[in-house]
Amino acid sequence: MCGIFGKWNINGSPADRSEFIRLLDLLGHRGPDASGSWFSGAGDVALGQRRLSIVDLSEKANQPLHNENRMVHAVVNGEIYNYPALRMELEAKGHVFSTGSDSEVVVHGWEEWKTELPSRLNGMFALAVCDESSEQLFIARDRFGIKPLYYYRMQGSFAFASELKPLINAGDFRKEIDSTSFSDFFTYRYIPSPRTIWKRVSKLPPAHSLIIDKDGIVRLNEYWQLTPGEERMPWYDVVEQVRELLKTAVNEHLLSDVPVGTFLSGGYDSTTLALIQHQQQYPLRTFSMGFDGWDKSEHLYAGVVAEILESEHHSEIVNGADLTLLDTLPVFYDEPNGDISTIPTFMVSRLAARNVKVVFSGEGADEIFAGYGWHRRLMTRYRFSRENAWERKQGNPMTGVKGYAHAMAMGLFDRSKLKELLHPSLHACIPDDPFWFYRQHYKKGLHPLKAFQYMDIKCFMGELVLQKVDRATMANSLEARVPFLDPALVSFMFSLSPDVYFDKKQQKPVLAELLRPHFPGGILDRKKQGFTGPDHYYQDEKWYREQLSDLQLVKNNLINDTFVKKALERKDFWRLWKVVVMEKWFLRYL
């Protein structure tokens, strides 16, 4: 895990080396163990990395990495889990490796496979390759967007980075908010790819690569697609297949030269990951976060699971005073993120980072096993039969794009609400269809549940949840790995008909089947809880009045004070949460 940064002055002017190092160091929290940079002979290309040492801890594995004749250079953020097999294949073809780093397969893989390289990698990654012989720069991002990658083009130059900070703090960058992105934040709680909050800066979408040549011609390519299906399989065949796929994924994700810990809530997802490690006799280190005075806090369940699995367990309690973290989080969330679990995620990451460098996290399980509340609410509107997989109810508000938008909203902003919120000068920037991003990823031909799950992967998880986890963990120099997003496991679950793995009476029945022989009913039969904390943390009227009393967003003609006052009167706290988050971001960056 690390932070990467690079720049190519296509006009041929040499890079300012001291300026480049200054900008690279803005990613120091992502990689405190080492800093490395490479400049081309002419000085027009610069690559840099801040390293968090995980695999091959020696200095020789510091990046940038180079091929044998030093004509191909690469920086990589993340982990390549299938690197042992790829290394054997590449060595058999004559490539000579100089380190034990998993990232070195990127350099030699580029020599062998060129733009097909990302499709050969199983891992979480954001990478860049400079090929001096072909005068090309290639960047790519993993299939699900676990690792972030931003880029911008100015006249005569191209730059990329793991976070926005190196790009927007460059001397030639002009800070201008993208008004449509500003509007989109209130609809989605994030800025959908490929836009960012800034004009002229783009976010490389998941499963995409980009190549730019010496003439400045850019080609964007989607190198992988998730293909949903409706296959039926016997129940126990599904369970056994998931068991084997998870065992393989966990084994691959344990690839590390430092200890690996696990975020543990006592819920199905994290408990499954901990159980598989325990069964493979891996020494468990688990970390949980509880909430003071909340009867739904899961830290007690996590403690029970940890005791059963004989884990070295660490726990901490959050209280309402920790909302003050919102003032400092924008330093790391340099693109606004409206997820209400940003604070507890940051805190459990801080706890884990005192003990380990790498941690397992359960993201992806709810998406592939249909574990969210909106999945259950959707499916209560349908009757299943073998002959007809589902029957629509005429006018069912839960289905389709609008149904998904309501499920995601946490305070819905449709077009009319956006006009109430935003200053009149921004009304022209409100999309005609505020839910355009959901519509882009909505597949009409799918079973309604599978359509929701697909949008979960592409929208909610890919844009909001994974960004939250990346920023929270990296702020604490901690690498988060997500075994449930192993491509083979995700592809298998998406190939199945929902009636194979969904049961209205049992949440995530496949995982429940794996866990039931090992844990008491009190662990398995309780209602699912989100990692958010008690509502009163986020619905304190006095706190909101303090936060919203003197808004820079109002003074800068971005939002209407009238909306804020009326929302306070209505106690419309979920909509106001997004206003507070955006205000905190604005104060930090403008």
User: Which residues are known to be catalytic?
Assistant: 2
H-helix or E-strand spanning residue 112? helix 104-113
Question: DSSP characters for 265-276?
Answer: -SSHHHHHHHHH
- 3 state SS for 478-509: CEEECHHHCHHHHHHHHCECHHHHCECCECCH
Type of residue at 537? Y
Q: Go through 113-138 and write b for each residue having 16 or more CB atoms within 10 A of its CB, e for each that does not.
A: eebebbebbbbbbbbbbbbeeeebbb
Closest CA to 449 of 400, 488, 395, 490: 400
Could you tell me the CA-to-CA distances from 585 to 61, 337, 523, 582, 589 in Å, in that order?
A: 36, 9, 39, 5, 6
What angle do helix axes 342-353 and 466-475 make, rounded to 10 degrees?
A: 40
Going by C-beta distance under 8 Å and a sequence separation of 6 or more, which residues neighbour residue 266? Answer: 288, 298, 299, 300, 301, 302, 303, 304, 305, 523
Type of residue at 346? F
Going by C-beta distance under 8 Å and a sequence separation of 6 or more, which residues neighbour residue 538? Answer: 340, 532, 573, 574, 577
Asked if 65 and 103 touch (Cβ cutoff 8 Å), the reply is yes
Could you tell me the CA-to-CA distances from 273 to 261, 484, 486 in Å, in that order?
A: 10, 9, 13
List own/partner pairs for 466-470 with CB under 8 A and 24 or more apart: 466/144, 466/145, 466/146, 466/363, 467/145, 467/148, 467/190, 467/335, 467/337, 468/333, 468/337, 468/339, 468/341, 468/342, 468/345, 469/345, 469/361, 469/363, 470/146, 470/147, 470/148
Asked if 15 and 156 touch (Cβ cutoff 8 Å), the reply is no
- Find where tokens 């359509």 sit: 451
* Cα–Cα distance, 1 to 478 (Å, whole number): 8
Instruction: Describe the chain by its helix, strand, coil percentages, rounded to 5.
Output: 45, 15, 40
* Cα–Cα distance, 60 to 148 (Å, whole number): 25
